[in-house]
Each structure stands twice: as structure tokens, then as C-alpha cells.
Amino acid sequence: MRSFRNRQSIHQSETFIPIRMGWIENYRRRGTSETNQTGSTFIDAARQRWRQLGEELKADVKEFSAQHSGAEFSTSGDHSYQVTYDESGLQLDITADFDAQVVRYDYKPTGAATAGAPEGGMLSMRQTRRGGVEFYSADERLTSEETRQVLLEPVLFPPQLAA
């Protein structure tokens, strides 16, 4: 009788058939490398989409400033944008967390005369089938324009200025 120490085998009528699960190990290894590739691909696409959002926000603020003075767009590092508008008394802070696949945004009063600030929120970043990244709010895909409107409207067009 053969001895297969430390090896799994199937015993079938005095014949030992070693079990080779190479395909399982290969599958596990492949899954791990694909996850790492997908993760880095996602982060690259998310960074590209984040930069695009920054350029779009900057252009929107510039367009708004052509009609109304006091609106400013600024960056703070690679992961943060700010928009302030003196007349609304609000500042919008937008921060990307690529590992968590989210963009967080928050509104802060810029002066004592501001009667509070709207609640901020979070947008998720999801990869499309084509490899790009899009923003989502409550599982609803947002276009570029909708994303910017969600973020900028409370600062540039607050209810107290519309009255």
C-alpha cells in the first residue's frame, strides 16, 4: 500500500489518487491579482474624475462670478476643494476619499451673520463598465451637471437670497 503523507488523496479500491486542487489555488491567486488591478484602476479613474469635477466646479464658479462678485473656488491639496460666496455667507468643503470610494461635502457659515448652514452629505464613486467613474447620490447616478448642482446650489443660490 502506498503512503501519501501530508497529501490529500482519494482512496478508491486500493488505488490512491492524489487530489490536486491547482485550479482552486490558481483561481484564488487570480482573484487577488484582479482585485488589486481593479482597485488601482478604480483609484486612477476616480482621481481623473475628481480632477474633472474640480475643473467643472471652477468653471461654474467663474461663470457665476461674471454676474455676481464674491464667489471663489480654491483647492487645498489633491483631495479637497472649497467654494465660498460672500453674499450667502457659506463655504462648501468637498473632500475625496478614494479608498472609501466617496466624496464628502459639508457647508459652513463664513460669518456670524449667517443663520446656519445646510446639511452636507456624501456621494459615492462607482466604476462604470467602460472603466470611468461616476458619482451617485442615494443609488441614483448623477450627470456632471447634476453633481455640480447638488454641491453648488446651496452656496450660490441659497433660499434666503431667492426671496
Q: What is the CATH number of the domain that holds 43?
A: 3.30.920
What is the Cβ-side half-sphere exposure of residue 131, based on CA atoms within 13 angstroms?
Answer: 7
Q: Is residue 110 part of a domain?
A: yes
Q: Is residue 6 part of a domain?
A: no
Q: Is residue 4 part of a domain?
A: no
Q: Is residue 111 part of a domain?
A: yes
* Closest residue by Cα to residue 127 from 7, 52, 45, 68: 45
- The pLDDT of 129-154, averaged and rounded, is 96
pLDDT digits (tens, 9 = 90+) for 7-20: 554 555 566 555 55
Residue 27 φ then ψ, to 5°: -65, -45
* Alpha carbon distance 136, 134 (integer Å): 7
Question: Using an 8 Å Cβ cutoff, are 90 and 84 in contact?
Answer: yes
If one counts every other C-beta atom within 10 angstroms of the C-beta of residue 97, the result is 13
More confident site: 22 or 75:
75
pLDDT digits (tens, 9 = 90+) for 34-65: 444 455 789 999 999 999 999 999 999 999 99
Domains of the chain: total: 1
Mean pLDDT, the chain, whole residue set = 83
Q: Is residue 83 part of a domain?
A: yes
- Tell whether the model's pLDDT for residue 33 goes beyond 90: no
- What is the residue range of 34's domain? 20-162
Q: Is residue 71 part of a domain?
A: yes
Confidence of residue 158 (pLDDT cuts 50, 70, 90): confident
Q: Is residue 3 part of a domain?
A: no
Grid cell of 117 as nine digits: 448652514
Q: Is residue 91 part of a domain?
A: yes
